[in-house]
Structure 1
Amino acid sequence: MTSRGRFLLATATGLVLAGLVHIGAVLLIPRLSEADALSRARTGETLDHAMPVYTLATGDTPSPPEAWLPIPDPAVAVGICAYDLADGPMRVSARTGPLMLSLAVHGRRGAFYAVTDQAAVRGALDLVVLTRAQYDEALANADENDVTRDVRIVAPDAKGYVVVRVIAALPSQRPAANTAVQAVSCTVDVPAEDKAGG
């Protein structure tokens, strides 16, 4: 092999190796990041209601600078409920009203379920996020004559978060949108026999 051939081979090998290193680094960023959405959402895990992420400006009160989601829509109030299914199933309860409300369930790899207030039964929307084992246990313990209004979701990951969004179509609806996000309840679901015993 000539010196020019060796030079071209070394250059091509170096470029391929550099490309692989860059691709590997980009793919590892989400796993190594400490400021990803899941990590930020977990700061509010102990709350029993949605942690406000983006509240709408109302009158003299400007929108606070806490927004860490991508550029927020100025007409949407956003809150987050973090969960760890090792503690038990996560119940997210919301009362529907005149404003459009949506819940999106996210895991480590992104959103895997979304529902709007159109799925509410008698003005209440109850979403329960469970592991496969918790879901199977809930089915085994369920009374077939007892009708549940829960929307049960099997999560692919034990840790994640639920994004609550409420749309204020008019500026006068902004306070109601902020209140609706704060009114969403996020609790660890305890089975009935545990409630009775404890």
Structure 2
Amino acid sequence: MSNLTRFLLATLCGLVLAAGVHIVTVFLAPSFAENDAFGRLQETLTEDQAQLIGPAGGGPTWLPLPDPATAVAACAFDLSDGPVRVTAKTGQDFLSFSFHTKTRGVFFAVTDRAAIRGELELVVMTPRQLDEARAAEDENEPNRDVRIVAPQEQGYIVVRVAAPNPSQRAQAEAAAKAVTCTVDEDDDEAS
């Protein structure tokens, strides 16, 4: 083997190793972040209402490039305390929810089109909690909850309410803040 061949082989191996380290670092970086979205929303674990995180009245926000025509609120959840019930009243403005794990991203999304009689009720739970809820169900009384199985016990929910006109901004913010995220008492008693 000539020196040039050895040099090219060593350079190629170095580039492959560097690319591998780079890819692993990019994928692991979010799990080491201290000031991630879940960390910023941890205080909402003890509150019942979603916290407004969009630029209220043009104020500061930690969102990157927030949409001025959308009111954004969020709340964190920890399923080790039990399933979490998310409720919202729907109106004329578009309303959407996205459910995120603490580290892996979005695992479910839904809009106000899933509402029944102007109310949207969702229950986030682990697979074990879902099995327990199914076992405790009464066969004669069907359950109407929209059940969402989370891949991790901790995560957060982002609520977006459209405000197509600046005059509707306050109404959209009120609708976003009115979303409740509470530990579901009914499912706790059933388990």
TM-score, length-scaled by structure 2: 0.90
Q: How far did 1:170 drift?
A: 1.4
- Which stretch shifts more, 175-184 or 11-20? 11-20
**1:119-147 Cα shifts (integer Å, max 9, x gaps):** 11111111100001111111111122324
Range with bigger deviation, 21-30 or 156-165: 21-30
Any runs of at least 4 consecutive aligned residues in structure 1 with deviations exceeding 6 A, and if so which? none
Identity percentage over the alignment? 52
What secondary structure sits across from 2:47 in the alignment?
Answer: coil
Query: Is the counterpart of residue 153 in structure 1 residue 157 in structure 2?
Result: no
Aligned to 1:5: 5
2:159 maps to which of 159, 164, 182:
164
In the TM superposition, what is the alpha-carbon distance from 1:31 to its structure 2 partner?
A: 1.6
Q: Which residue of 1 aligns with 2:86?
A: 92
RMSD of Structure 2 on Structure 1 (CA): 1.9
Secondary structure (helix, strand or coil) at the match of 2:67 reads coil
Partner of 1:101: 95
Q: Give, as a single letter, the amino acid of the residue that structure 1 aligns with 2:62.
A: A
In the TM superposition, 1:1-198 aligns within 5 A as: 1-57=1-57, 63-68=58-63, 70-107=64-101, 108-191=103-186, 194=189
CA contact (8 A) 2:71 2:161 kept: yes
Aligned residue for 1:38, secondary structure, equals helix
Q: Is the 8 A contact 2:55 2:66 kept in 1?
A: no
TM-score by length of 1: 0.87
- Cα shift at 1:181: 0.9
Find the residue that maps to 1:79 and give its secondary structure: strand
Moved more, 122-131 or 147-156: 147-156
Which runs of no fewer than 5 residues in structure 1 stay unpaired? Answer: 58-62
Determine helix, strand or coil for the equivalent of 1:74.
Answer: coil
The answer (yes or no) to whether the contact 2:55–2:68 under 8 Å persists in 1 is no
State the shift of 1:192 in Å: 6.7
- Cα deviation, residue 176, structure 1: 0.5
The structure-2 alpha-carbon separation of the partners of 1:193 and 1:151, relative to structure 1 and needing over 3 Å to count, comes to: closer
